[in-house]
Every structure is written in C-alpha cells, then in structure tokens.
C-alpha cells in the first residue's frame, strides 16, 4: 500500500484531547493539512486558551508575511471546540495529549473508545509511558498506538509512530502515512521505555550531570564545549533548563524504573537537588543558570594564554584529529612528522586524543602522554577544545598544550582529569545507546539516526557518527570508561562490539536493519 493510499483522507475528522501547548499544536498541524479538528479538554476554558494561543501564533506569521490572513482563518476555522468528550464521535483518528499519568490516560481512553466508531484509530502522545499497557485497558487494543510529536508540534518535524505489542500493522501504517501527509517526518518504533529519542538521548544529559557531580568543570564550560567543539545546537545544561528539570528528571526516572533500574539510566542527584529546591530552569527563573532580569549571562572558564609553540612533531596517525597537522601548518607552525603511536609533541610535551581512560591512568599504564585533548565534530571549525592533564604531568604541560591549540585559533577549556573528557564520552555513550536500541529492535538503524537528527537536532546521527569515528575506537572509549568507573553503566552494546570486531559500518543495507 502506498503512503497516499494509507493516509487518512483530509475529510476525516481528527479529535485532539488536551488543549495545552502540545495538544493545541497538534490540532493546528491536522487543521493545516485540511482535516476538521475536534478539540477537547476536561477544562472548557483551556480549549479557548489553546485556540487563542494558536491565533496569536498565526497572527505573527501573517504579520511577517509567511501566511495569508485567509490561510490563518481557514486553519482556525477547521478547529471546533468540543466541551464534552461524547461529542468526538465523528472522529476517525484520536490523538490524546494530556498529563503523563497512566491512570488518568487509562480512564480517558475507556471513555474515548465508547464515544467513537469501532474502526477509529486511538493514539497517545505520551513520551515515556507504555503504549502496550495503555492499549490493554481498551476493548480494541489493535486499533491503539503511540503518535509522539515533539514540542513545538507545528515546527519540529519528527513524529514517533509507536506500535504496542498488538497494534495492527495497518493501523501503524495509516498513522505513519497520515503524519507524512501532514508534512512531518515519521519513524516507526516499538513500545519500549523512552521509545527512540528519549532513550537514546539520556547520555547527553547523564554524562554532563556526572561531570558536574565530579567537579570536572562548570555547567557553562561543559555547555560551551559541547556546542563549540561537539557541534550540538545547545549544551545539556541550557537544554535541561529549557525543558524544565522536573520534566527531564521525570523522564529519566521513568526510563530507569521501566528498564528495571538499569544503571545506564540512573537519575542524577545533581538534578534531583534542583528539582527538590524548585529551581526548574527558565520557567522558575533559575536552574543551572539565573534567568532573572539583568542577571549576567553564564561565562565558561577559559584557559589563560599559553606560550606559542616552537616545535611541533606529529607521531603516527592522529585518527579523527588528523586535521590538526594541517591546521598547525596553516597557523604558521613548522610541523615535523614521524612514525609513532598517534601523538603530538609540542615543545617536548606529548598530547593525544582521549581514548576513554583518564590521563592519569593512561600515563601510569603507558608512560604518557601528559595531556589528553577532546574530540571535535570538525577540528577545522571547532571554536573550543577541552584538555586535561595527568596527575604526573609537570605544571607547565597544561600551558604548553593550551598554547598549541590557541595558536590554531581555538579557545581552550581545562578540565579536571575526567575519563573520556566531554565530547568523546558523550558521543561514545550516545552511539552505544543507539546501537543497543538497534540491537533490541526498538527502531531501524536509519530511523534511529533520523530520529536524533530531526527530533533533537543532533549534528550527526549517532550511528553515522560511529561510522566516521570507527566502532573499534568507540568500543575502546567505553571500555576505558568502564575501567575508570568499574560500573555496569559503561558496558559496550553487543551490536557495537560486533561492529568493532568486523569493521562493518552501521549504515549498510541488510534486511534486518542490522
């Protein structure tokens, strides 16, 4: 069946239950595609507030010349307030977007099922609750699935089409095709805790929270490193402040509990303290950062100016950091190359890309290098590089290393000796989580990468990033983290280990998606 044949006709009414920001946004998406929309909320005043909010948003688009007044009126005209849930009977597709409370949703869907025709599709916009468990409370669970939009729904393209254990494939195909006809980017996934995005993204927050707990660097410094070196649009701390720590902590806790307290998803006491203190981020005026009027912007810690290098020797293959040699030459430095184990010697100080071990542990095992530097998405365009020194290194080594990267035009952040530094450990753990999701058939390799690109704007899909860096390198980084912490949190996903052993990339065409 083609997408066009599977999609619901625009004449089919869509019911949206919940008129908050998410629900009203979904209503607008459906109305823009031409569907009559029946908007219900348990609070009739919330329906009007939701429609008024949409009107304000559309008025701004009219003022900017992005849509016509006639288009605005047509879209709003397709949305009909429904104060009683019994009035949604004509709907062929129901999307629920209410509070994340299982018992409330359970009671709601029993009423919804009684109000609509037997062939109607029922769906939930839940971000973390079990679609399978919700489906089990109704008479026709095969007609139920998750249709998870991302906020703001009219703008963000991704929609996770989540099949429960007994969701009929034709129902999932219709929801997928309908969301595609609405201009969205749908992906199929299985009903597992967090689905794709909220599961794979946990390390983005979790590794930074752990680094804060260990005193490796300040929140502003960690955010700057992941933005300016890692290529992420926002740092984890500013993103958690935007999402709200209560929401982000609740999702982490839900995924952790539903996965039987797997240590990979263990919540952070750092975030719990923010939640307990009521410092929830932007919505309360304080989180990691102060949002009060006139508050100074957060400032990362930058290394002081170091000496300009006089001698640069590159020994062997620098792997992902190979561009540093050409950058040094472009900066006017004389570069000598020799065989070796993949290091840069700057005026006698050895620098190397982190391999997941701490600099201190690596120096003790291998006799060097003195300084480790972090991964960058693109060393040519990266504005910042993080470095850390082994405890055995002379005091002058950090200044020498900082001077080298500063000569290349980079701002330098000095960390305490954190295993894997910041970008490398975060990217490695994202890749590991994505590989595990693929291994457990949560989604296909292509859909997992697409989800992280379209749902949370990562600079690369994690598995494509792994293909660039090499699975063997990523597995070694996770092994290094495991050795440093001695925790099951840092265990290499079986599919990543297989790729490391064979050298086979993730993005190859196989029937299984593996």
Beta bridge partners of 351: 344, 371
Which of 148, 228, 238, 444 is labelled catalytic?
A: 148
Residue pointed to by tokens 């595990």: 436
Catalytic annotation on 130?
no
Instruction: Give the helix/strand (H/E) hosting 451.
Output: helix 445-456
Length of the chain: 514
Catalytic annotation on 198?
yes
**What does the CA dihedral 269, 390, 394, 375 come to, rounded to 10 degrees?**
-90
Catalytic annotation on 188?
no
Cα separations (Å) of 421 from 24, 57, 373? 42, 42, 8
**How far, in Å, CA of 261 to CA of 371, rounded?**
36
- Residues contacting residue 230 through CB under 8 Å, at least 6 positions apart: 375, 376, 377, 422, 423, 426, 427, 459
3-state helix, strand, coil in the chain (%, to 5): 45, 15, 40
CB atoms within 10 A of CB 256: 20
Are the beta carbons of 251 and 268 closer than 8 angstroms? no
Which of 24, 123, 125, 127 is labelled catalytic?
A: 127
Are the beta carbons of 443 and 197 closer than 8 angstroms? no
Q: Which two tokens stand for residue 290?
A: 């102060």
Q: How far is CA 125 from the centre of its chain?
A: 18
Which of 113, 160, 207, 238 is labelled catalytic?
A: 160
Q: How far is CA 458 from the centre of its chain?
A: 7
Catalytic annotation on 148?
yes
Which of 130, 198, 432, 451 is labelled catalytic?
A: 198
Are the beta carbons of 200 and 448 closer than 8 angstroms? yes
- The residues annotated with a catalytic role in the active site are 127, 148, 160, 198
């Amino acid at each position: 069946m083609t997408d066009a044949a599977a999609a619901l006709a625009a004449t089919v009414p869509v019911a949206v239950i919940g008129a908050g920001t998410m629900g009203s946004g979904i209503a607008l998406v459906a109305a823009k595609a031409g569907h009559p929309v029946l908007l219900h909320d348990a609070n009739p005043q919330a329906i009007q507030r939701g429609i008024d909010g949409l009107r304000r948003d559309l008025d701004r688009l009219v003022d900017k010349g992005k849509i016509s007044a006639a288009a605005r009126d047509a879209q709003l005209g397709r949305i009909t307030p429904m104060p009683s849930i019994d009035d949604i009977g004509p709907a062929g597709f129901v999307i629920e977007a209410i509070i994340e409370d299982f018992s409330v949703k359970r009671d709601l869907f029993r009423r919804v099922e009684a109000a609509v025709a037997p062939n109607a599709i029922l769906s939930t916009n839940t971000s973390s609750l079990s679609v399978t468990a919700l489906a089990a409370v109704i008479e026709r669970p095969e007609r139920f699935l998750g249709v998870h939009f991302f906020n703001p729904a009219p703008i963000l393209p991704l929609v996770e089409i989540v099949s429960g254990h007994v969701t009929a494939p034709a129902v999932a195909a219709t929801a997928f095709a309908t969301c595609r006809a609405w201009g969205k980017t749908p992906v199929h996934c299985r009903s597992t805790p967090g689905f794709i995005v909220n599961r794979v993204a946990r390390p983005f927050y979790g590794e930074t929270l752990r680094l804060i707990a260990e005193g490796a660097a300040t929140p502003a410094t960690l955010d700057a490193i992941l933005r300016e070196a890692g290529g992420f649009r926002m740092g984890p701390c500013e993103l958690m402040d935007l999402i709200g720590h209560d929401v982000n902590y609740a999702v982490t806790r839900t995924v952790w509990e539903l996965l039987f307290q797997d240590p990979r998803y263990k919540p952070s006491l750092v975030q719990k303290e923010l939640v307990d203190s009521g410092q929830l981020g932007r919505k309360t005026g304080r989180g990691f950062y102060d949002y009060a009027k006139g508050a100074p912007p957060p400032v990362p810690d930058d290394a002081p100016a170091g000496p300009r290098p006089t001698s640069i020797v590159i020994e062997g293959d620098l792997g992902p950091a190979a561009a540093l040699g050409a950058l040094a030459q472009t900066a006017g430095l004389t570069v000598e190359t020799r065989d070796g184990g993949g290091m840069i010697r700057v005026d006698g100080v050895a620098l190397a890309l982190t391999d997941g071990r701490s600099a201190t542990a690596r120096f003790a095992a291998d006799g060097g290098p003195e300084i480790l530097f972090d991964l960058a998405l693109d060393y040519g365009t990266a504005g910042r590089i993080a470095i850390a020194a082994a405890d055995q290194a002379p005091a002058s080594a950090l200044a020498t290393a900082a001077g080298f990267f500063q000569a290349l035009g980079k701002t330098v952040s000095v960390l305490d000796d954190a295993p894997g530094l910041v970008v490398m450990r975060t990217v490695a753990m994202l890749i590991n989580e994505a590989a595990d999701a693929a291994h457990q058939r949560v989604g296909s390799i292509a859909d997992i990468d697409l989800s992280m690109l379209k749902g949370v704007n990562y600079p690369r899909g994690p598995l494509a990033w792994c293909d660039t860096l090499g699975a063997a390198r990523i597995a070694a980084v996770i092994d290094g983290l495991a050795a440093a912490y001695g925790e099951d949190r840092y265990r290499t996903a079986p599919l990543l280990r297989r790729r490391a052993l064979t050298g086979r990339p993730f993005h190859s065409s196989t029937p299984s998606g593996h």
